[in-house]
Amino acid sequence: MQGSLMLDIAGTWLTAEDRQLLRQPEVGGLILFARNIESPRQVRELSRAIRAIRPELLLAVDQEGGRVQRLRRDFVRLPAMREIAQRADALQLAETCGWVMATEVQAVGLDFSFAPVLDLDHQRSAVVGTRAFEGDPLRAAELAGAFMKGMRAAGMAATGKHFPGHGWAEADSHVAIPVDERSLDQLRAADLIPFKRLSSELDAVMPAHVIYPNVDEQPAGFSRRWLQDILRGELGFRGVIFSDDLSMAGAHVAGNAAERIQAALSAGCDMGVVCNDRAGAGLALDGL
């Protein structure tokens, strides 16, 4: 079993402990949060410091737009995806927002944002809510495709999340273990459509910490059925699979941090993401 970890740091500059951590060969990426960001100049300096240690590390951020926007001070405030969808010029606006987001993220030395959200807005999930473009799967796929077109024009890879769809389950996987009781046929007829239509254009996919008991007893991110049989096999996806944050409550069904990373990689994730848990990151590194 191969794979690597994407970790985080506590502050706006690298500590000696951070530098030692980044030198571990099992670390393949770093994700920044709002606490790591003061200004565009500071992020550029932090990016340079990281690349001086490991030039090949993937540097990521969650810069979707709306309420999920880590880069804020002296950056363009992007609308939420639902707001874009409600505009008459929605397709053009989605493409423009994708380009602006990607341009600004890359300008401060980061590689990509985990975007776009392909979840459907079923008016049920508070954690998804305005982050989703639409409840209609074909329209959601069309708008996400336009957003991705803008990202590609700026030179950024696109990551679709949260496979196979987090919009129906009401619980927030950050603090609970959401369950979606629908059948695979129901999911194929709705939430899977954006992933299917965009599978050849997506560079990466992030699965949901949601259990779909009529498909598999494991959350999607720990499920070979979801990641190998359906995402790889049925949808023909050939890109990278990032786990969602393995420190989230929705991931704890797989055990401690070391067991969670093993479970995610065994199921088919290429890179495990461990955030806000330095002790857990250490355990996960030991597990690798």
Q: Which residues are catalytic?
A: 174, 244
Beta bridge partners of 27: 5
CA distances to 66, 106, 113, 176, 194 from 235, rounded to whole Å, are 29, 30, 23, 28, 11
- Helix-then-strand count for the chain, H and E: 10, 12
What single letter denotes the amino acid at residue 148? M
**Buried b / exposed e across 62-89, counting CB within 10 Å, b at 16+?**
bbbbbebbbbeeebeebbbbbbbbeeee
- Give the pairing of strands 240-245 and 204-207: parallel
Query: Cα separation of 67 and 87, whole Å?
Result: 18
| Nearest alpha carbon to residue 194 among 133, 127, 149 | 133
| Nearest alpha carbon to residue 219 among 187, 251, 244, 186 | 251
